[in-house]
Amino acid sequence: MNTSKNILITGSSSGIGAKIAEKLSSSGHNVFLTGRNEERLIKLAVEIKAKGFLAGCLLEEDFPVKLFNNACKQMGHVDVLINNAGAYLWSSVEKTSKENIEKILNLNLRVPYELCTLVVPYMKKNKWGRIINIGSISGTVGEANASLYSTGKAGLIGLTKSLALELAEYGITVNVINPGWVKTGLTDECIQSGNINEQEQLDMIPQKRWIEPQEIADLTKYLISDSAQGITGQSLNLCAGLSLG
Ligand SMILES: NC(=O)c1ccc[n+]([C@@H]2O[C@H](COP(=O)([O-])OP(=O)(O)OC[C@H]3O[C@@H](n4cnc5c(N)ncnc54)[C@H](OP(=O)(O)O)[C@@H]3O)[C@@H](O)[C@H]2O)c1
């Protein structure tokens, strides 16, 4: 195994982010959690022996910097950034409000970019770093009535490729994992609101199953290992075949 790394994971209070945190902490790494729900963060931090956490909204102007400073205070520095926090919006283009345009693009694209600006200086100095963005199949193949979500997630692929090129000579890899449908709070909300039908959705997936958060955590663990140092700038679809059409 790698030596222990210091890892900041956004959106780690639930779903995919919580599973990634659990996996990486149990593999001997120091993890720093964040999300808005403080109660869940406290519970998870104790359960998985996280190095620390900070509750807050990433859409608040000062929060990304505050988060980064807190993570550094607790761990010394950040070796690995996992940009996982995100929100989905089901809306036809003409019904999409200006507030939602700002909110979804900020959370799903601007904040990941800003966090990259904060973690890269130390990674460059240390000649080692890993940035993993959690995208979506919607960013690779498009999704009707989710154009805003798709736009942000497609942007993460551009960010990943450009940063991978820019940072390659510093021993920093940058990759994006694009999950298909995963049964988390995000998906449950879509089902409950009637925007997607659970059975119809499953029928559309070639493997006829949801992706498990554990599968994304396992891939994340591999991508931060030294065995994966040659994998950079890649957009990796983990989708049970959904992206195949
Ligand atoms: N589920 C899927 O089918 C699926 C498919 C493809 C990609 N993804 C992507 O996977 C990532 C994780 O999603 P998930 O399925 O695990 O959903 P989830 O269970 O709803 O988790 C979302 C996480 O993001 C955090 N978050 C949301 N808005 C935030 C804000 N304004 N400020 C700070 N934190 C915020 C949430 O924290 P709080 O709840 O504490 O606020 C939570 O920890 C997202 O980027 C999503 O787009 C999911």
pLDDT in tens, 27-83: 999 999 999 999 999 999 999 999 999 999 999 999 999 999 999 999 999 999 999
Counting from 1 in the atom list of ligand 1, the atom nearest the Cα of 138 is 6
CA proximity to 36, closest of 6, 61, 59, 8: 59
Structure tokens, 189: 């909300």
127 CA distance to ligand 1 middle (Å): 30
Residue with tokens 């807190």: 70
Give 95-117 pLDDT, tens digit per residue: 999 999 999 999 999 999 999 99
Q: Classify the phi-psi angles of 127: left when phi > 0, otherwise alpha if psi is within -120 to 50, otherwise beta.
A: left
Q: Environment class of residue 175 by beta-carbon count within 10 Å: exposed (0-12), middle (13-18) or buried (19+)?
A: buried
Task: Identify how many contiguous H helices and E strands the chain contains and give both numbers.
Answer: 10, 7
pTM: 0.98
Domain residue spans in the chain? 6-238
228 CA distance to ligand 1 middle (Å): 25
Task: Indicate whether 1 pLDDT > 70.
Answer: no
Measured CA to CA, the distance from residue 58 to residue 27 in angstroms comes to 27
Q: Is the CB of 206 under 6 A from ligand 1?
A: no
CA proximity to 220, closest of 29, 44, 34: 29
CA proximity to 18, closest of 45, 54, 56, 39: 45
Positions annotated as catalytic residues are 149
Give the pLDDT of residue 196: 87
Q: Is the CB of 106 under 6 A from ligand 1?
A: no
Q: Which CATH number is 6-238's, of 1.10.3470.10, 1.20.80.10, 3.40.50.920, 3.40.50.720?
A: 3.40.50.720
